[in-house]
Amino acid sequence: MSINLSSSEHPYAHLIDTLPDGIKFYNPRKLGDPRYDKLPLSIRILLEAAIRNCDGFYTKEEDVQNILDWQQQQEKAAVPFSPARVLLQDFTGIPAMVDLAAMRDAVAKHGVDPDLVNPKCPTDLIVDHSLQIDYSKCAIQNAPNPGGGDSSNQSQPPPPRSTAARPPSRGGSHCGGQRGSCSKAACSDPPASSGRPTSVQQIENTPLLCPFHLQPVSEVETALKNQEMELQRNKERLHFFKWCSKAFKNVNVVPPDVGAVHQVNLEYLSRVVQVSDGLIYPDSVVGTDSHTTMINGLGILGWGVGGIESEAVMLGQPVSLTLPQVMGCKLVGSINPLATSIDIVLGITKHLRQAGISGKFVEFFGPGVSQLSAPDRTTIANMCPEYNATVSFFPVDHVTLKHFKKTNFTDKKLELLESYMKAVNLFRSYEESSEDPQFSEVIEINLSSMVPHVSGPKRPQDRVAISSMKDDFQSCLNEKVGFKGFHIAKEKQDVRIPFLHGGQEYQLAHGSVVIAAVISCTNNCNPSVMLTAGILLSKKAVEAGLVVKPYIRTSLAPGSGMVTHYLNASGVLPYFNQLGFEVIGYGCATCVGNTAPLPEAVVDAIKKGDLVACGVLSGNRHFEGRLCDCVRANYLASPPLVVAYAIAGTVGIDFEKEPLGWTSEGKEVYLRDIWPSREEVQQTEEDTVISAIFKDLRRRLEKGNTFWNKIECPDSVVFPWDHKSTYIRSPPFFSKLSKDIPPPQSIENAHALLFLGDKVTTDHISPAGSISRVSAAAKYLQSKRLTPREFNSYGARRGNDAVMTRGTFASIKLHNRFIGKPGPKTLHIPSGQTLDVFEAADRYQRDGTPLIILAGKDYGSGNSRDWVAKGPYLLGVRAVIAESFEKLHKSQLVGMGIMPLQFVSGQNADTLELSGKERFSVALPESLRPRQQLTVRTSKGTSFSVTALFDSEVDVIFFQHGGLLRFVARTVVENGPAAAAAGEQRLTSV
């Protein structure tokens, strides 16, 4: 929102102050209210935004007073927050941009200039999440797959080098180090010895081989070829993004293969303060990813929202939130020398999860904070969704300034930042307890108690000390199937399955590691843990002659080129490569299910022995089946521990008592022998993570890549939809859009599409990962004459509603009580047939039957994803009746015009003796109110009460419009050139 600083109409114009260099700012301290200096610093940022954006409509003076009176109003008053910018990544960003493009079409049909549809809030779109691993050093995969999809059955292990017939050449391409040449390298034959590792010299002399020509190729080509495949596979999406960058005002598109969204946000987009039109104010952000919270580690307030909410902010509307409780997390004690920042993260995660802080702000203070580097803080803040807080905020201090000096902030910019933050009392000295604000509650955590841990085998909150890992995994085999158990019969726990790979025999057992991935989302932003892993490899492991078995799917997907730079500058990258952890590209890969297929022999061995094979990754998502269908146990670990478990080849190891391996002389090598000291790591970080690295990142960001720069797109105001495209399609959200608001429509004789239990996550609802060959989405793509090799992933096709709707509730882990076993099926009640969820919904819609969903507790927990609401909406779902909802998902349902209805306390589907096969009717009053009690009638003649979870009048208005998108489109149609007024007339007329 643009503020006229000279206007006396602004209710807080008297708070405008001036810095020594002449830049103006709103100074809340000029209120003269002693409550301000007692507010948590995160709340002070909310207050400043409310003061600056106080327009009497979206933000009112009473909102400012409510925030100032936070101590009394927390968890009571709903207030608006207008962030400084919006952050989109491509998987969740593309639906938002597709919606805006479709909205341009809709307003144009009403005779309104479509160029009026633009983001009003600055929006950054980072093209990152489409990376798939087609090429890898450590395992030969199937031939390059231009369309992605499930090709696991086509993977073949490499034949022995001496007897392999040369495969036919592809298009006459030549092996070697030139860009565009073959680089899909096979691993060299492992030594045919007693299993002792080869020497360093032997490893260094092992060439990478092109599987098509069996000729040596350059290692760097692996990342380049993965990039080329990514760009080719996603050219339709990239064409659309390029059009967006030219057509929409206020949109900045960061091209592909630069870095993951959070990494780019941290290194390139973050400002701490923003300066616009002579006004300085705190930087803040909302993003379409739950891990946007990472930015709080730099003193920048931000969190993840759904695509619907992000679109609202893009179009000038504030985020509505109930004033949160702020839990003060006091850090004391000294960090254990063996503990990495990831151990600190997981330790804090455990404490905060146990504290029950769902939906609250966490703000860190105490002398222990000063021991944490800026990357440490961002890593802790990144895990915020795992302990269900809204944000984990680290106020700006001298450590923050030191970090930004490293990242090419000029002295002048740093002086301005420090001057402003101190002027509005947003700068902290953690050693000064007199500066501590008042919190809702204080939790104290002793950093010296943190020891190395991993998390798993199925949930991030299930932490296991590495000293207990062997015993814990054994107990998981014994326990019944659940969050920690696999229920393997005693007589089958010691089974070992032999198999051939690369001409040599290996064995798999329960606990064998088959996937080891150092990936971008959580850890690669932190140089200390990456350098620990690198030094672990370069100075210790390789020199000791340790190797990783060649059948283990290893990969290194850095968050950005900065990581590659400092790994290379420190001299450790070649050693990463020698153990198989080569850079495969930039962006999410393993963590989002884009793991390359395992070797067929490995898959067969796992199936033959019904083995609990393991994946180890340095990420933050590892639900069962997410990495690979045949890998049941997955553990989150710090990068050095990922490497350690890969070398060990099993999670069933006690690092204290058992060696990782042996030297070429047969000497045992223990983890403690090769673990670098904290001082060693910190010195390397100081020597390598320098401002030149960040300068180079900015250069690459601004330059883009050749493929992106050559993409041509029209200069049209509306997007020229290609009706043959299977990636980008105009969604039907604006079909039959009327200028007037339709009257309230009660739900009459609805069927339940699904009957679900507790803890249905967004992973169960929203499509993600690969597209199964037997899914409804696959049938659609095959009808478009695509082969399974061309399916790509749900993430890449988020701009096609036909694919995403068919993928909604298509999770193999969905527990639908109508079916009685996991799977993406449901009961079509009128016919009694078991169908794919989409096929059943399609039948109901063709018959004109409205739909509801019955669910238990915590419906919609997990990542923020817009298709968790868009998908059900397009399936015809009018309401979800559940015992409780995850807050963000509830807002997403409202934003799509779906009613979130909550059973009254003490009631649920079972206590009400609902079979789910009844018909349900919900009468809506003409004047719907927030939190209103409604009555649900069933075809059995029974009825029960539910609460309509509309938190505010604005929620009710969005619902009455049929969702936020229709509300915004009607605002533009009605106001025309005055659309910047953002719908005041429409709101007051409802």
In the chain, the amino acid numbered 372 is L
Q: Domain for residue 919, yes or no? A: yes
With CA atoms as reference, report the closest residue to 640 among 680, 608, 612: 680
Domain boundary, last residue among 451, 484, 503: 451
Instruction: Please indicate, yes or no, whether residues 526 and 571 belong to a single structural domain of this protein.
Output: yes
Residue 816 pLDDT class (50, 70, 90 cuts): very high
133-147, 252-266, 430-444, 774-788: segment of lowest average pLDDT: 133-147
Contacts of 414 (CB under 8 A, 6+ apart): 401, 404, 405
Read off the pLDDT of residues 104-131 as tens digits, 9 standing for 90 and up.
999 999 999 999 999 989 999 998 755 6
Read off the pLDDT of residues 842-865 as tens digits, 9 standing for 90 and up.
999 999 999 999 999 999 987 657
Q: Domain for residue 798, yes or no? A: yes
CA distance 968 to 311: 10
Provide the pLDDT for residue 198: 35
With CA atoms as reference, report the closest residue to 193 among 877, 883, 664: 664
Q: Domain for residue 979, yes or no? A: no
CA distance 67 to 51: 10
Provide the pLDDT for residue 986: 30
Read off the pLDDT of residues 934-960 as tens digits, 9 standing for 90 and up.
999 999 999 999 999 998 787 898 899
DSSP 176-220: SSSTTSB--PBPPPPP-SSSPPPPHHHHHTPPEE-TTT--EE-TH
Provide the pLDDT for residue 1: 39
DSSP 531-590: HHHHHIIIIIITTTT----TTSEEEE--SBHHHHHHHHHTT-HHHHHHTT--B--SS--G
- 955 is written with which tokens? 């929620």
CA distance 386 to 345: 10
Alpha helices in 689-827 (DSSP H): 691-703, 706-710, 762-765, 776-783, 801-807
Q: Domain for residue 296, yes or no? A: no
Residues forming a β-bridge with 186: 209
Largest Cα–Cα separation, the chain: 85
For 148, left (φ over 0), alpha (ψ -120 to 50), or beta? Answer: left
Residue 41 pLDDT class (50, 70, 90 cuts): very high
Given a contact cutoff of 8 angstroms between Cβ atoms, the answer to whether 701 and 254 are in contact is yes
Integer angstrom CA distances of residue 268 from 257, 258, 376: 15, 11, 18
Averaged pLDDT, 349-363? 87
CA distance 103 to 691: 43
Instruction: Please indicate, yes or no, whether residues 467 and 582 belong to a single structural domain of this protein.
Output: yes
| Half-sphere exposure of residue 823: CA atoms within 13 angstroms, side-chain side | 13
Which of 24-38, 165-179, 303-317, 621-635 reaches the highest mean pLDDT?
24-38
Given a contact cutoff of 8 angstroms between Cβ atoms, the answer to whether 929 and 957 are in contact is no
Q: Report the alpha-carbon angle 813-814-816, nearest 5.
A: 140
- 793 is written with which tokens? 């992933």
Instruction: Please indicate, yes or no, whether residues 507 and 420 belong to a single structural domain of this protein.
Output: no
Domain span at 567: 453-686
Instruction: Please indicate, yes or no, whether residues 547 and 445 belong to a single structural domain of this protein.
Output: no
With CA atoms as reference, report the closest residue to 234 among 92, 143, 127: 127
With CA atoms as reference, report the closest residue to 352 among 441, 454, 468: 441
Domain boundary, last residue among 670, 686, 702: 686
Given a contact cutoff of 8 angstroms between Cβ atoms, the answer to whether 970 and 739 are in contact is yes
CA distance 809 to 842: 14
Provide the pLDDT for residue 220: 54
Instruction: Please indicate, yes or no, whether residues 909 and 801 belong to a single structural domain of this protein.
Output: yes
Provide the pLDDT for residue 938: 97
Provide the pLDDT for residue 482: 87
Torsion of the alpha carbons at 349, 379, 241 and 712, rounded to the nearest 10 = -150
- In the chain, the number of structural domains is 3
CA distance 187 to 185: 7
Q: Is the pLDDT of residue 204 over 70?
A: no
CA distance 882 to 948: 11
Q: Is the pLDDT of residue 562 over 80?
A: no
Instruction: Please indicate, yes or no, whether residues 420 and 466 belong to a single structural domain of this protein.
Output: no
Q: Domain for residue 73, yes or no? A: yes
Torsion of the alpha carbons at 269, 271, 277 and 278, rounded to the nearest 10 = -160
Given a contact cutoff of 8 angstroms between Cβ atoms, the answer to whether 173 and 182 are in contact is yes
Would you call 188 exposed, middle or buried from its count of C-beta atoms within 10 A (0-12, 13-18, 19+)? buried
Instruction: Please indicate, yes or no, whether residues 643 and 784 belong to a single structural domain of this protein.
Output: no
Q: Sort strands 877-882 and 899-903 into parallel, antiparallel or unpaired.
A: parallel
Instruction: State the DSSP H helix or E strand holding residue 61, giving kind and residue range, or none if neither.
Output: helix 61-68
The enclosing domain of 898 has a CATH number of: 3.20.19.10
Instruction: Please indicate, yes or no, whether residues 419 and 502 belong to a single structural domain of this protein.
Output: no
In residues, how long is the chain? 990
Given a contact cutoff of 8 angstroms between Cβ atoms, the answer to whether 615 and 627 are in contact is yes
Instruction: Please indicate, yes or no, whether residues 430 and 461 belong to a single structural domain of this protein.
Output: no
Q: Domain for residue 843, yes or no? A: yes
Q: What is the DSSP code (8-state) at residue 240?
A: H
Query: Count of CB atoms within 10 A of residue 47's CB?
Result: 24
The enclosing domain of 346 has a CATH number of: 3.30.499.10
Provide the pLDDT for residue 815: 93
Averaged pLDDT, 573-579? 88
Contacts of 112 (CB under 8 A, 6+ apart): 972, 973, 976
CA distance 45 to 24: 17
Query: Count of CB atoms within 10 A of residue 334's CB?
Result: 11
CA distance 538 to 547: 12
Contacts of 588 (CB under 8 A, 6+ apart): 128, 129, 131, 260, 519, 520, 521, 557, 594
Provide the pLDDT for residue 40: 98
CA distance 426 to 293: 18
Instruction: Please indicate, yes or no, whether residues 785 and 895 belong to a single structural domain of this protein.
Output: yes
CA distance 103 to 428: 45
Q: Domain for residue 285, yes or no? A: no
Q: How big, in percent rounded to 5, are the helix, strand and coil portions of the chain?
A: 35, 20, 45
683-706 per-residue burial string, b: 16 or more CB within 10 A, e: under 16: ebbeebbbeebbeebeebbeebee
With CA atoms as reference, report the closest residue to 654 among 517, 511, 842, 825: 511
Radius of gyration of the chain (CA): 28
DSSP 477-530: HHSPSSSS-----GGGTT-EEEEEETTEEEEEETTBEEEEEE-TTTTTT-HHHH
Query: In 773-875, at which residue ranges do the beta strands (DSSP E only) sit?
Result: 825-828, 833-836, 851-854
DSSP 933-984: EEEEEETTS-EEEEEE---SHHHHHHHHTTSHHHHHHHHHHHHGGGGGGTTH
CA distance 86 to 470: 44
Q: Domain for residue 378, yes or no? A: yes
Q: Is the pLDDT of residue 203 over 70?
A: no
Domain boundary, last residue among 640, 670, 686: 686
| Half-sphere exposure of residue 754: CA atoms within 13 angstroms, side-chain side | 35
Q: What is the reported pTM?
A: 0.70
Instruction: Please indicate, yes or no, whether residues 432 and 567 belong to a single structural domain of this protein.
Output: no
CA distance 791 to 780: 10
Read off the pLDDT of residues 286-313 as tens digits, 9 standing for 90 and up.
998 778 999 999 999 999 887 777 888 9
CA distance 878 to 899: 6
Instruction: Please indicate, yes or no, whether residues 842 and 964 belong to a single structural domain of this protein.
Output: yes
* Percent of the chain residues topping a pLDDT of 90: 49
Residue 68 pLDDT class (50, 70, 90 cuts): very high
Read off the pLDDT of residues 244-268 as tens digits, 9 standing for 90 and up.
999 999 999 988 877 778 878 888 8
Q: Is the peptide bond before 457 cis (omega within 30 degrees of 0)?
A: yes
With CA atoms as reference, report the closest residue to 967 among 980, 982, 977: 982
Provide the pLDDT for residue 237: 86
Residue 593 pLDDT class (50, 70, 90 cuts): low
CA distance 576 to 848: 59
Given a contact cutoff of 8 angstroms between Cβ atoms, the answer to whether 990 and 958 are in contact is no
- 84 is written with which tokens? 């400084």
